[in-house]
Structure formats: C-alpha cells, structure tokens
Amino acid sequence: MYLCEKFKLYAMAQISNEISRTFNEYLLIPGLTTKQCTPDKINLQTPLVKFAKNGRPAIVLNTPFVSAIMQSVSDSGMAIALARNGGVSFIFGSQSIESQAEMVRKVKKFKAGFVVSDANLTPEHTLKDVLALKEKTGFSTIAVTHDGSSNGKLLGLVTSRDYRPGKDNEHTTVKEFMTPFSKLITGKYGISLDEANDIIWNNKINCLPIIGDNQTMKYFVFRKDYDNHKNNPNELLDSQKRLIVGAGINTRDYEERIPKLVDAGVDVLCIDSSDGFSEWQKDCIEFVRKTYGDTVKIGAGNIVDAEGFNYLADAGADFIKVGIGGGSICITREQKGIGRGQATSIIEVAQARDEYFKKHGVYIPICSDGGIVQDYHMVLALAMGADFLMMGRYFARFDESPTKKLLIGGSYVKEYWGEGSNRARNWQRYDMGGNSTLKFEEGVDSYVPYAGKLKDNLEITLGKIKATMCSCGTLSIEELKNNAKITLVSSTSIIEGGAHDVIVKDSKNSQ
C-alpha cells in the first residue's frame, strides 16, 4: 500500500509518439537546377564553432567533415590529411595526456610543403642506427645534427644513396658516409614554398633542407610533395598558416588534460561521451570558460533532442554533437535501449538551434554523428539542418587512419573498433560517475573494406554531394537547409531505388 501511494503520481514514463526515423527513410526531391548551378560553383564552407548574429565564426570548415574521436580513426596522420583537405580531426583522447599532446604538436608543426625532420642522428651514430631508424620511421632521408635533434645544427645528410645495406659495415659511423653540409644545397628559413621548389627543380635535387640562424635545422622540402601542395586548395589553416587540429577530452581528467593540449596548440576541443546530457559536461565547459574565457573552443554532446541541446547551449558549448547509438560499431541502443533515429534527432535539434538563435542571437552549429551509410545520407543530414558531419567508419577505411591493413578472404580490410569495445577500453566516454571501469561493452571490434587514400575517396564523395546539391538547385549548405525538399519513402520505394528485376552482371567476369 505504501509503495502504491508513494509512486501513484508516476504511473508511466513520458512517451513520444513520433516515429524514430533514419536517413534511409528519406529522399531528396529535385529542385530547379539553374544554369548557374554547377558543381564547380558549390560552396561547402560551414561554421565549426558558434558565433553571434552578424558576426563570423572563429573556425570555418572548407569541407563539412570531421573525423571521429576514435583510436582507430583519428591520430596525427589523419589530422594532417583531413586538414589539408578542408576538414578537422579530433585526435582521440583515450591515451595518455602526453601522447595526445604530442600528436597535436606534430600536426601544428606540419607546414604545407615544409616538413619537420622526424628522423635525425648525430655524426657518431652508425650505419646500424641509420637502418634501425629507417625501419622504425619509414624515412630514408635523415638529418645529421650536432645533437641528433630536429632543430640542432645541421652537419650533413644521409639518404639511401649514401650506403649499401648488406655490403657496407654496419659499424661505420655516419660522419664517414654522410653528405657533409659543405656539399649540401640549402634554403634560408623564411623562404617561400615557391622559392624552395624553384631551387629544387633548378638544381635537380630531391630534397632541400631549410636552415635558420647558426645553421640550425628547420624543415625539409621534398620534390615528391610538389604536386601535393598544388592540389590542396582547401587546406584549413590558422592565422599562422598552420593546420587546424582538434582533440577529444573526457569529463574525468580535463583539468590536467586541457592545459597540456592548449600548450601544444590545439584549436578546438570536444567532450567525447556517448551521452552528453550531463552535469559532468556542464562542469567541464565551465572550467574552460573560467580558465580561458572564449579563447578555447569546446564542443559537447552527444544529445538527441531539444532539451539536451538547450542544456549544453546554456552551459556554453561552441558546437553540439547529435546522435546516440547510430554509429556502425556502436551497440549502445542494443545494450541500454538508449538512443534515437539519427534523422529524427537532427530535425528536432536543428529546430532547437534555430529557435535558440532567434532568442539569443547566437548560432551554435550542430554536428551529425552517426547513421551515415550511403554518401547521399550526408546531403540529407545537411539538408535536415546539420552544419557538419562527424564520421568514423568512412575515414577508418583510408591509408591515413592509424590501423593495420590486412588481407582477409582475398580482400584488403582495415581494423576498426569502437571506443566502447573491450579493445579500446575507453571507460571515460561512458562514464556515469562512480567507479572508473568499463562495466560492459557499447562498441564492437570489426573490419572495414580498405579504400585507399583519403584524398582520392574524398574527391568522389564531395563530387556526389555537389552533384546532389545541384539537383536540389542549391549552391551552398545554407541554401540547401533553406530550400531543399525532402520526402519520406516506403519500404517498397527503397527497393525500387536500387537495381531490380534484372540479372546484374558480375563485373569481374563481364567483358
């Protein structure tokens, strides 16, 4: 009797009768494609962080993609590759503070065409050391400095042409076979990339060391990178012409982690959590605001409705991630029964964002995280209101992701695992307070088909997006949000949309 009386006012949970829908349940309806609406005129720029009405965001993406905060996706290599193509990587936080800060530092040191020397020895090292360093780093060009550091006094250079593995004595010191500084062609620190490339081509050399005062080593410029630099017009750079990089943080050690990441030069942070509607996230954002004001940018999430958005917006988030349980390796919905269809989530949160903007005069971008299966889903997410997309599986397939490429069943694949898997053991991402352990898995360990280089695949994907936007009669993401027409589809119309009622030829066997 007592229990019934005590709880009689709470007979049932709040129930939403709205169907939780996915991107696969929608299609875009064509709009008028004008003569001006061609792929080369499509503008894919989009804000990454919040800004006031009539103001400008501190960071604007040239490509509306960011890579997921995952061990199997976002390290310094992915961050460099994606920033060079207009997006941002959030380097995974499920590692030591020192190693994450070093990854951030590596990205910030990278300059388009100017490469920091990560393979260095002293004159007293031996050929055995050269071979070991080459095996470890993969670099065949080694700077010889007085102290073996990347910014020591340059004394010479060793390349694969200076020794014969298996024939030369491995105990021979580097100073005996290196090309000494007196015979090197070098460039002066401060030289432009065009000037450096002119020196390389005029002197028919493969590599140009860039030196500063007192002969200190600064950078390398390589002949092989020449075309790469010309082909990256969308590079995302800060005010000092350095690549922009993000980093994931958790709500446990942020007071120690954030200062180290800021010192390393991080441009934007993001709280990594499967459920962002939390007082823990509010505390973290308040720490950033109290310590750094608005100079440090921080995103929050994940949430799936207007209530969650408004909570994090009021807390001071610079952008808000939307999506719970929609990732290809995520099993949160299966394990906890928590989540919502990604399309429904984006539509509701986008409306909340627009209402917040009207009320407060501050536009807070939203990021769609999860639920992307086909490339056209990307356009749907943007049309439904997302400002940019966070993806894991998409980027995990590329050379630039940090995982192994394996040959399985005659096909090449790459490893891909969730942050909630036993392999990652990123318990902080699923932290609900209390003891610090991973109680159960919310992610799986898997493979994804290997796809090659990021740039090659990204060009195809962006080509599809631009073509779809042209069919919608829109020239920008903002126009797409305002003017696109979307329709629900039935299960039979989904079948109709693919190849049907024919015998598809096997492309491997067809002539």
Rg (alpha carbons) of the chain, rounded to whole number: 26
Q: How far apart are CA 431 and CA 439, in angstroms?
A: 10
CB 185 within 8 A of CB 208: yes
Check if the beta carbon of residue 181 is closer than 8 Å to that of residue 153.
no
Considering 330, 367, 470, 472, which one is annotated as catalytic? 330
- Alpha-carbon span 303 to 281, nearest angstrom: 12
Whole-angstrom Cα distance, residue 475 to residue 40?
10
Tell me, yes or no, if 330 is annotated catalytic. yes
**Separation of alpha carbons 19 and 77, rounded Å:** 40
**Which H or E run includes 302?**
strand 297-303
In the residue annotation, 367 being an active-site residue is answered as no
Which is the catalytic residue, given 84, 257, 393, 429? Answer: 429
Instruction: Give the strand pairing for 187-188 and 207-211.
Output: parallel
Residue 462, amino acid = L
Q: Do residues 364 and 42 make contact, with C-beta atoms less than 8 angstroms apart?
A: no
C-alpha pair distances (Å), 174 with each of 120, 128, 136, 140, 156: 11, 9, 18, 14, 9
Count CB-CB contacts under 10 A for residue 254. 23
Query: How many whole angstroms separate alpha carbon 399 and alpha carbon 112?
Result: 19
Under 8 Å between Cβ of 297 and 49: yes
The C-alpha atoms of residue 490 and residue 452 are separated, in whole angstroms, by: 35
Of the candidates 205, 166, 212, the residue with the CA atom closest to the CA atom of residue 183: 205
Three-state DSSP at 16 gives coil
- The catalytic site residues sit at 330, 429
